[in-house]
A and B are shown apart, each in its own frame.
Chain A
Amino acid sequence: MIPLLALTVFVTVTAGVYLALSRDLFRCVVGLAMLGAGANLALYAAGAKGSARPAVIQKGAEVLADAANPLPQALVLTAIVIGFALVCFALVLLLRVMQYAGSDDADRLRLAEPRPDDPLKPPSHSADCLPVYPREDRS
């Protein structure tokens, strides 16, 4: 079981990081989601012990017996929901950035860190570089 899961985790994490390294912001967000899925799988696999039966205490029994390990399941469940919230927020942010800056190219988003214009000094934020209000609001 472990080698198979480990291989799956490898493929998922590799694909996730590869997408996240793209300059396309949408691919970047999808890569982030995939990286999260890979991490969940790894977490689950690391604690997968016991049988493949749901962690439910049988009728008449007092104690859980012959079932899957419940602890990683609880952790992964929490992680899935939080990852979902994170990625959804990232998507909305992406949408906003694309409208605001007019680009979804990570290499062209230089509002916070402008390209250096001097070999030594830190780059200066010129006035038109930091619009306080969104571009379309200024009309």
Chain B
Amino acid sequence: MAQANTGQGIGRVERLLFTALPLSALCLVLWKLARLELPLSASLSWVPALGIDLAFHIDGLSALMLLMISAVGTAVFLYAGGYMAGHSGQRRLFVLLSLFMLAMIGTVTADHLLVLFLFWEATSVLSFLLVGFDYHKSGSRRSAQQALLITGAGGLALLAGFLLLGQAAGTYRIREIIEVVPQLEQGGRLTAALLLILVGAFTKSAQFPFHFWLPNAMAAPTPVSAYLHSATMVKLGVYLLARLDPAFGEWPLWELLLKGAGSITAAWGMILALRERDLKRILAWSTVATLGTLVTLVGMRGEGASVAVGSLLLAHALYKAPLFFVAGNIDHGTGTRVIDRLGNLRHSMPWTAAVALLAGASMAGMPLSFGYIVKDVIVEAKSAGEVFAFAKAANTIFGAVAVAVAGVAAVRVFWRHPGVNESCEAREGSLSMILPPLALALSGITLGVFPFFAQGLIAGAAGAMVPVPREILLGITLEFGPTLASLALSYAIGLGVYISWDWLHERFDAAVQRIDRLGMAAHFERLLRGIPRAAAASTRFVQSGSLPAYVALAIGTLSLLLALVMALGWSSFAVPALGGIPGPAVLGACALIAAGALASLFQKDRLALLLSAGLVGYGSGVLFLFSGAPDVAYTQFTVETVFVIVAASILLVLRRSGRLSSLPEARWRPAALALAAAFGAVIMLLLFVASTGPFDPALSDYFSETSLPQAFGRNVVNVILVDFRALDTLGEITVVLLSFLAALPLLALRRAGRERKAEAE
């Protein structure tokens, strides 16, 4: 076990206090179950303005989940005390696990979609922190990032789906939603909500095509893998689907997607399990496959399927968590989890071997284990409901490979391959590493022998999905029929797979390696690598470092925005009045402006360019002069003259360095011309639009009326500038002054440089 850099180990008392948390929850759940006090609900006003209450409701399904969370939690907390003994990050682990448990309890008891989402996201974040527990290893960090990105993205989809669903249903209370939604029309909004929620649930429960993050999450310490990534968190997706099953269960799309994705995941997960050599990853893939089976069962109609969901949830928690503990014990005792290097461990680790046998029997569905009853229920449900052939085949693969995986985990590493790991001294761990898995595995067997203990619990959980009219009976069926035939088939195939495990491994590894490139994991990696590339490309497009490109981008964006605004209000614009024909002076001025502007486009010589551009200014002056704006005209003439003088003096300097003519450039730049014409057209249209609207003379009238009485001036334009808007004019003068002040040092620098050069010469 690698040592983390920070944190401290913790003492026995503190460990017990932490363990008391799940233990007290377990006692409370058992107490409530025993006294038949369910369902319970509570509500606390939280954000009344948005109608969000901290609403909780515990029914049979929630109780089943709570039982798993607290029972496996207690085992995990106890186990972690032994497994992580002396590890410096132990306290961090316990704090994170406690927080995670609280988040899980919140998720499975929440009765408000947004409250559920809040806790759901908390589990994703805590999963990230726990997968990346050994944060000094780059593999852990990568796996944690992958898990967070996938479940986090799914969480966003889930939020969007929840909002759509809540809006469509008119309520965010889950109990009300499942009553309202079946009566609603199956419109586009509900379909979108359904798809988004499915994305959220599928990412959380590692369903195809989001299945690949779960085995990578095995970078976490074993207690974390057993708790989060097998028994509880990954079941949240299944929980949510089961919770919403009464709302969407009648939809063909719901049924199709759940059965389709679930079956693919079940079959594909088991095939990928054959590729692995790491015991933990083998178990992880079989978890993925189990989750697929659960999703398929949720998608099926009928009470049989609902009972199967409840029993498989419970059975899986009871056998998979101990098997993870077994993998942890083996890792702890021998230092490896690779099955090629493990064998004949029954002598050195007898208790772990016993646990593995008990849990493996349940996983394989051997008679007298709870797994057997579950298999029975599943087969019955599938023969009762309408299932397509693919789902049936997937289930057969799932059952068969489950037998094989159980064989590898329970038989192969303990009873076969003697002499493989004789060199290393395998040893049994402390008592806290044996008792918790033993307790869990034993309860799996107990429930197999006395199934009526679980009956009420399973019936309650199934009742959340369908009304269960008659008392369900979990029992050991002894009738010969399709059930036994199917079981026998899966045992036989499973045995075959187990015996030829190594041979199959080589074949599958070689075959799947060829399509790895096309797999979802590879796509995900490509996506991650593409993000910086896309960022670089977009940054370099927007921020190219070229001045013309910046001008083009700014002008183009402005043109588009203005065009968009005008297009939106197009219907409300009137045709502009042509007005009277202007006088010859105005006509001449306009001709002068246009001639200057057009001529400047062709000038190679900079002085000629300056003079042509000057025509535009002087033309504007003439226009102002003859249309009743003499003050503006005088200003324009003055400014234009001074500008030409300034520009000409700068040209004189340029002449000294031989830069009187423009840079050689293409005679016509069509793209630039098109953009310029587009912008000009938009401005022209804007002017038309502005002139057709109603004219608001309020300000003009105010100035016209108050100019003489209040400011004692007859020239209204002057009065506006120096009296009514005097501060504005002050600002204008300041700008002129500032530009002069800014230009001075630039010119002075120039002079200094020139003098120094002269001195040097």
Contacts and interface: CB of A to CB of B under 8 A. Distances in A.
A71 B721 CA distance: 10
B587 A4 contact: yes
A137 interface: yes
Given A9-B683, A21-B552, A109 B547 contact: yes
Interface in B483-542: 532-533, 536, 539-540
Given A37-B616, A99-B753, A14 B679 contact: yes
Most interface-central of A15, A81, A87 (chain B CB within 10 A) = A15
B683 A119 contact: no
Given A17-B676, A21-B551, A23-B547, A33 B653 contact: no
Interface stretch (B154-162, B403-411, B417-425, B741-749): B741-749
Contacts of A77: 631-632, 635, 717, 721
Interface residues of B, number: 113
Contacts of B654: 26, 95, 98
Contact of B677 (A14, A25, A105, A109): A14
B628 A119 contact: no
A70 B620 contact: no
Which label, helix, strand, loop or mixed, suits the secondary structure of the A interface?
Answer: helix
Contacts of A1: 579-580, 582, 586
A81 B632 CA distance: 10
A130 interface: no
Given A2-B688, A3-B576, A38-B683, A85 B736 contact: yes
A93 interface: yes
B629 interface: yes
Contacts, number: 317
Interface in A64-109: 64-65, 67-71, 73-74, 76-78, 80-82, 84-89, 91-96, 98-99, 104-107, 109
B681 A81 contact: no
A82 B752 contact: no
A2 B609 contact: no
A37 to B, nearest CB: 5
A28 to B, nearest CB: 7
B409 to A, nearest CB: 44
Contacts of A14: 597, 673, 676-677, 679-680
Interface string B573-604: 00011111011001100100110011011000
Interface stretch (B172-180, B298-306, B639-647): B639-647
Interface stretch (B138-146, B275-283, B367-375, B702-710): B702-710
A10 B594 CA distance: 9
A42 B616 CA distance: 13
A127 interface: no
Contacts of A6: 684, 687-688
Given A8-B590, A14-B677, A21-B669, A89 B687 contact: no
B627 A11 contact: no
Q: How large is the interface on A (under 10, 10 to 19, 20 to 34, 35 or more residues)?
A: 35 or more
Interface in B351-410: none
Interface of B: 532-533, 536, 539-540, 543, 545-548, 551-552, 555, 576-580, 582-583, 586-587, 590, 593-594, 597-598, 600-601, 606, 609-610, 613, 616-617, 620, 623-624, 626-632, 635-636, 639, 642-643, 646-647, 650, 653-654, 657, 659, 662-663, 665, 669, 672-673, 675-677, 679-681, 683-684, 686-688, 690-691, 695, 697, 699-700, 703-705, 707-709, 714-717, 720-721, 725, 728-729, 732, 735-736, 738-740, 742-743, 746-747, 749-750, 752-754, 756-757, 760
Interface of A: 1-28, 30, 33-34, 37-38, 40-42, 44-46, 48-57, 59, 62-65, 67-71, 73-74, 76-78, 80-82, 84-89, 91-96, 98-99, 104-107, 109-110, 112-116, 119-122, 134, 136-137, 139
Given A17-B555, A74-B717, A80-B636, 14 more contacts: A9-B687, A12-B680, A14-B679, A26-B662, A27-B662, A30-B600, A34-B616, A67-B716, A70-B717, A76-B632, A80-B635, A88-B739, A134-B749, A134-B753
